[in-house]
Amino acid sequence: MRIGEPARAKVNLTLSILGRRGDGYHELESLVAFARSSDTVIVEPEGDDRLTVSGPFAECITGENLLAKAVRLLRDAAPHLRIGSVHLDKKLPVAAGLGGGSADAAALLRAVRRANEDRAGEIPWLEIATQLGADVPVCFADHPAVIRGRGENMTLIPAFPLMHAVLVNPRVPLPTASVFAALKAGPAFSTVQATALPPLSDVARLLDYMRARGNDLEDAAVRLVPEIAEIKAALAAQAGCLCAAMSGSGPTCFAVFPTSAHARHGATTIAASRPEWWIECTVLEGAP
């Protein structure tokens, strides 16, 4: 039995940094959506206990693969779980501001849950997700949400409109820690108030919300990878572009278009002039 689970790219449509907390982490508020573009995690419960990786960005993974840590935490929580072999098809850029490693780990948790439906209720899935990283819980939910705190506090968006989009990455990795260090944020207030969330069920309101908030990490990221400004300008210059912004800590940028035809034309036009960039025409949407 093979269980495949998509690890959809996480796109931060907004990102507000509210200051550095006493524990060293940053207080944030971010509207997160997911793209159809994804890595794929495959679990074979009857296979050997091994982890393999393939795909165009497989060799870009440095250090310990977060999937290995996820397997260890799962075995510690429940040694009886059927996990077997794990394979990752790595199609998304690494250190790209798309939550790739977090999405992969979350997809593994979902795949193992499917492989162990008879015992799924015994496993603290969200607790394990939180131990794996601040982005893993929302990636595990795999649903648009506003995340707060370190990212562990989630408010799911019940109705989220489909948006045609283009993702562009310069194929330059940008570690999140480097961007936060360059930001040099001041201390967070101890009584940060959650922003009231307006209805976001139609594209016009969603775009207004996105434009009003932006991404507080963008300036710091551009200082580290100047190509980000070039990518954002190239996206904004495309016919029909409704909004262009950086996702997460970068360097991937995204643009929203009114139709799939506009998005395809924009992606094709940029690819013709910058073939060295990773360019993906996709859709941002609600639950898969």
Segment 68-123, tens digit of pLDDT:
999 999 999 999 899 999 999 999 999 999 999 999 999 999 999 999 999 888 89
Q: What is the pLDDT of residue 195?
A: 58
Identify the domain boundary among 94, 121, 156.
156
Residue 189 confidence (pLDDT): 62
User: Active-site residue 91, yes or no?
Assistant: no
Question: 160 and 205 in contact (C-beta within 8 Å)?
Answer: no
Q: Could you tell me if 95 and 168 lie in one domain?
A: no
Catalytic member of 39, 89, 104, 135: 135
CA–CA gap between residue 10 and residue 286 (Å, rounded)? 12
Same domain, 171 and 231: yes
Q: What is the pLDDT at residue 18?
A: 82
Based on the fold, state whether residues 29 and 113 are members of the same structural domain.
yes
Does position 193 have pLDDT exceeding 70, yes or no? no
* CATH number of the domain that residue 88 is part of: 3.30.230.10
pLDDT at residue number 24: 63
145 and 192 fall within a common domain: no
**Claim to verify: residue 65 and residue 173 sit in the same structural domain:** no
Instruction: With beta carbons less than 8 A apart as the criterion, state whether 80 and 127 touch.
Output: no
> Residue 70: which domain range?
3-156
Same domain? For 50 and 170 the reply is no
Q: What is the pLDDT of residues 73-83, one digit of tens each?
A: 999 999 989 99
Identify the residue whose tokens are 């993974």: 61
**Which residues, 6 or more positions from 118, have their beta carbon under 8 angstroms from its beta carbon?**
none
Is there a single domain that holds both residue 236 and residue 215? yes
Question: Does residue 144 share a domain with residue 224?
Answer: no
147 and 272 both lie in a single domain: no
pLDDT band at 192 (very low <50, low <70, confident <90, very high): very low
Is 50 exceeded by the pLDDT of residue 181?
A: yes
Residue 199: pLDDT over 70: yes
**What is the C-alpha separation between 199 and 205, in angstroms, rounded?**
7
Q: Residue 189: is it exposed, middle or buried by C-beta count within 10 angstroms (0-12/13-18/19+)?
A: exposed
**Residue 14 phi/psi, 5° resolution?**
-140, 160
For 72, phi then psi, to 5°, come to -60, -45
pLDDT value of residue 26: 73
pLDDT > 90: percent of the chain: 78
Mean pLDDT in residue range 52-71? 94
Indicate if the pLDDT at residue 191 is higher than 90.
no
Closest CA to 231 of 183, 184, 172, 180: 172
Bridge partners (DSSP) of residue 30 are: 147
End residue of a domain, out of 156, 180, 200:
156
Average pLDDT rounded to a whole number, residues 11-31: 84
Q: Is 49 a catalytic residue?
A: no
Which residue, 128, 166, 136, is CA-closest to 32?
Answer: 136
| Phi-psi domain of 56 (left: phi exceeds 0; alpha: psi -120 through 50; beta: other) | alpha
Task: Return the SS3 of 142.
Answer: coil
CA–CA gap between residue 137 and residue 157 (Å, rounded) = 15
Shared-domain flag, residues 97 and 169: no
DSSP for residue 57: T
Indicate the residue among 156, 189, 222 that finishes a domain.
156
Confidence at residue 109, expressed as pLDDT on a 0 to 100 scale: 98
Answer yes or no: is pLDDT of 157 > 80: yes
Split into its structural domains, the chain has a count of 2
**Do residue 142 and residue 167 come from a single domain?**
no
